[in-house]
């Protein structure tokens, strides 16, 4: 009887510790200590649970040098495109089993943003380099550069091209696109389908919340849920907030993300997924980071690898990572089967993590 009680007591301790760990930040480790987990860890809660596929793509370590990973997307052929900051190969192409198929791209040593667009049923890439005097490259799917967009000096907003350090492009169905100058002067520049500069907002333009102070818009997305009035959502990483704008630059709303470091906006399954590079960043550069799931009312409904979201009225409690599964999640994407891929910045050379949706 005594032994049975002892066993029950130990089980209660384990359950209690496990519950606590799920909702409290895990102890930090240095980037040199980080390794991709080798167990099928399940993260998330409710309808948003994902199971890690251990070892996915890790066999490619040492084949080519891997720079800081910034973006990841699935193309129309089901291939996984991984964009990283590498002077020799900014693009790695993998299949869904993680096998490396191709490597190319010496034109963008500071590759940061990636978009796949379709024109007349043909896919093209927009690759953003955020170095000084940064560039946006439009390429074929195998990396042939078709067009290059540099600093829009005609805007009158720059004294030198070196001030232009773009982070991502956002695209409209008619071919128009926006360049986010997220590492430069925080402007949002609009171009027509012919690649001609049209207008700008953000940065020092406008007043109050319409301005985007540095460090400002790191990533973003265009919400087409209301086709007549699409809106731009911007991730203001180091300011721990999101901002919504009309496509002509009118500020609509600011959403606070306490404890977050939102790097991008990804729409999936009628929700918005946002990777946080870390919590407390840049003050704590060893914080693991996590991924938030927002509903269309911009309420956090789940955190993947993070503490459970808690609202007190309309105010969200400060969030944080709860496990060292990640190390600086920067870019995320989903394939056609709903699997989640996570590309990580400054993660000790590890390849992206793949997760399968846990269906209940």
Prediction pTM value: 0.92
- Class of domain 39-357 (CATH, top level): mainly beta
| Residue 339: half-sphere exposure toward Cβ, Cα within 13 Å | 22
Among 86-100, 103-117, 276-290, where is mean pLDDT lowest?
276-290
Kindly state the helix (H) or strand (E) to which residue 353 belongs, with its residue range. Answer: strand 353-357
Residue 238: predicted pLDDT: 92
Residue 5: predicted pLDDT: 38
Cα 66 from Cα 273, distance rounded (Å)? 25
What is the percentage of the chain residues whose pLDDT exceeds 70? 92
pLDDT digits over 17-54, tens only? Answer: 333 344 545 557 888 999 999 999 999 999 999 999 99
In terms of Cβ atoms closer than 10 Å to its own Cβ (0-12, 13-18, 19+), residue 111 is buried
pLDDT digits over 181-220, tens only? Answer: 999 999 999 999 999 999 999 999 999 999 999 989 999 9
Cα 168 from Cα 155, distance rounded (Å)? 18
């Amino acid at each position: 009887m005594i032994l049975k009680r002892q066993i029950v007591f130990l089980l209660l301790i384990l359950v209690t510790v496990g519950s606590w760990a799920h909702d409290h930040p895990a102890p930090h480790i240095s980037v040199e200590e980080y390794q991709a987990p080798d167990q099928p860890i399940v993260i998330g809660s409710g309808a948003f649970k994902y199971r890690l596929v251990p070892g996915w793509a890790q066999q490619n370590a040492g084949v080519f040098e891997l720079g800081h990973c910034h973006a990841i997307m699935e193309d129309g052929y089901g291939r996984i495109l991984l964009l990283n900051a590498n002077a020799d190969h900014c693009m790695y192409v993998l299949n869904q089993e993680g096998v490396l198929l191709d490597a190319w791209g010496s034109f963008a040593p500071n590759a940061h943003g990636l978009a796949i667009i379709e024109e007349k049923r043909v896919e093209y890439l927009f690759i953003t380099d955020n170095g000084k005097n940064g560039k946006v490259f439009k390429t074929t799917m195998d990396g042939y550069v078709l067009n290059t967009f540099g600093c829009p000096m005609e805007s009158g907003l720059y004294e030198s091209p070196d001030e232009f350090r773009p982070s991502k492009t956002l695209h409209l169905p008619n071919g128009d696109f926006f360049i986010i100058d997220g590492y430069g002067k925080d402007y949002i520049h609009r171009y027509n389908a012919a690649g001609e500069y049209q207008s700008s907002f953000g940065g020092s333009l406008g007043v109050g919340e319409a301005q985007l102070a540095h460090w400002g818009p790191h990533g973003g997305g265009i919400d087409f849920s209301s086709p007549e009035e699409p809106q731009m959502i911007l991730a203001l990483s180091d300011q721990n907030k999101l901002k919504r704008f009309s496509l002509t630059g009118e500020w609509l709303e600011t959403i606070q993300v306490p404890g977050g470091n939102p790097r991008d906006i990804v729409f999936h399954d009628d929700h918005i997924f946002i990777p946080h590079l870390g919590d407390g960043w840049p003050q704590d550069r060893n914080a693991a980071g996590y991924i938030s799931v927002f509903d269309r009312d911009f309420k956090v409904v789940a955190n993947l690898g993070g503490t459970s979201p808690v609202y007190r009225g309309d105010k969200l409690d400060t969030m944080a990572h709860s496990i060292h599964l990640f190390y600086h999640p920067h870019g995320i994407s989903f394939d056609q089967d709903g699997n989640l891929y996570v590309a990580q910045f400054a993660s000790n050379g590890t390849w992206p993590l793949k997760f399968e949706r846990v269906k209940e």
